[in-house]
Amino acid sequence: MGKRIVIALGGNALGENLPEQMAAARGTARAIADLIQAGHEVVVAHGNGPQVGMIQKAMAELTRSDPERYIPCPLSVCVAMSQGYIGYDLQNALREELMDRGIDKGVATVLTQVEVDPADPAFQHPTKPIGAFMTQAEAEEMRRRGNPVMEDAGRGWRRVVASPKPVSIVEIKSIRDMVAAGLVVVACGGGGIPVVREGCRLRGVSAVIDKDFASARLAQMIGADYLVILTAVERVAVNYAKPDQRWLSRISVEEARAYIAQGQFAPGSMLPKVE
Ligand code: ADP
Ligand code: MG
């Protein structure tokens, strides 16, 4: 009996530039096609760290080149662009792989908005550095325009945004209908485009939702049997990168909670996956 599987691809697993991403997407498509061929329903989610950084930098340079003509591009729009661009590569890689195997299945990317709570405490404490490094003078200008900035580990100044928890997925009904119709769906890219609800309207906000939390929400909301999170390491470790490092292969929820309490998993990278 086929299972419903959500697969979350790590942002860095998609490479740092355009040709790297296309090659990585091809390799990923083979693994995903194996699952589809075995009769499972697959929904693909993915990160966007390097890509959204690249897009944001390009848009910021455009504004700098001619501020009269190009007003700054909101972060939510940059996330939407990254979903389109990554979805384009994944969609084509999957389409080709399925066709090569004689599997007739549609593949479609859903630009996904994820609702966050404007009262989420994360908004009071922005923690996630994003985009290009700036000089102190550029950082001051950025702050003056209402965007928080911070010094990032001695490497220069960067914008810093909140990382609120996903509350709900706006396009969930479309995603469910597409899965039910037998399509392979790519959704929730980069954790989703963060929005807050204002009556019937949605307003994009300057935030980044962790793609692991968004993928977990997606898996819950479509009643998935499995959530698979792929990243740059083969396994989760305790005492990670220390001489007594030990790789884990199978743990209970109680053990996971105990390791979290010991601070075994780095916040913003491994911790959200284990949580
Ligand atoms: P992704 O884009 O896949 O979400 P992240 O960089 O956010 O990637 O998180 C995965 C990374 O977390 C791993 O590549 C590894 O470098 C790091 N990491 C931190 N703590 C651990 C740990 N305890 N075990 C394994 N990897 C860890
Ligand atoms: Mg991550």
| One pLDDT digit (tens) per residue for the chain, 275 residues | 799 999 999 866 687 788 988 898 999 999 999 999 999 999 999 999 888 888 988 998 999 899 999 988 999 999 999 999 999 999 999 999 999 999 999 999 999 999 999 999 999 988 888 777 888 998 998 899 888 888 877 778 888 889 999 999 999 999 999 999 999 999 999 999 999 999 999 999 989 999 999 999 999 999 999 999 998 888 999 999 999 999 999 999 999 999 999 999 988 789 999 99
Distance in Å, CA 234 to ligand 1 centroid: 10
Residue positions annotated with a catalytic role: 11-12, 128, 211, 273
Amino acid at 123: F
pLDDT at 12: 62
Q: Classify residue 204 as exposed, middle or buried by CB count within 10 Å of its CB (0-12, 13-18, 19+).
A: middle
Q: What is the pLDDT of residue 167?
A: 97
Q: Which amino acid is at 136?
A: Q
Q: What is the pLDDT of residue 11?
A: 61
168 lines ligand 1 (CB under 6 A): no
* pLDDT value for 50: 83
**Residue whose token pair is 């990278």:** 269
Q: Is 12 in the pocket of ligand 1 (CB under 6 A)?
A: yes
Which-ligand-closest: CA of 235?
1
The pair of structure tokens assigned to 59 is: 């848009």
- What is the atom index within ligand 1 of the atom nearest the CA of 232? 14
Question: Which tokens belong to 108?
Answer: 């479609």
Ligand 1, closest atom to CA 235? 25
**Which CA distances in Å does 239 have to 6, 50, 55, 249, 263?**
28, 27, 35, 14, 9
Pocket test for ligand 1, best of 242, 251, 270 (most atoms within 8 A of CB): 270
Q: Which residue bears the tokens 């860095």?
A: 12
Q: Which strand (E) or helix (H) includes residue 193?
A: strand 193-198
How many whole angstroms separate alpha carbon 76 and alpha carbon 87?
16
What's the CA-to-centroid distance between 120 and ligand 1, angstroms? Answer: 25
Q: How close is the Cα of 197 to the center of ligand 1, in Å?
A: 32
Q: Which ligand is nearest to the CA of 163?
A: 2
CA of 136 to the centre of ligand 1 (A): 30
Residue 33 and residue 251: Cα distance in Å, rounded?
28
Query: Distances from the Cα of 122 to the Cαs of 63, 109, 212, in angstroms?
Result: 28, 29, 16
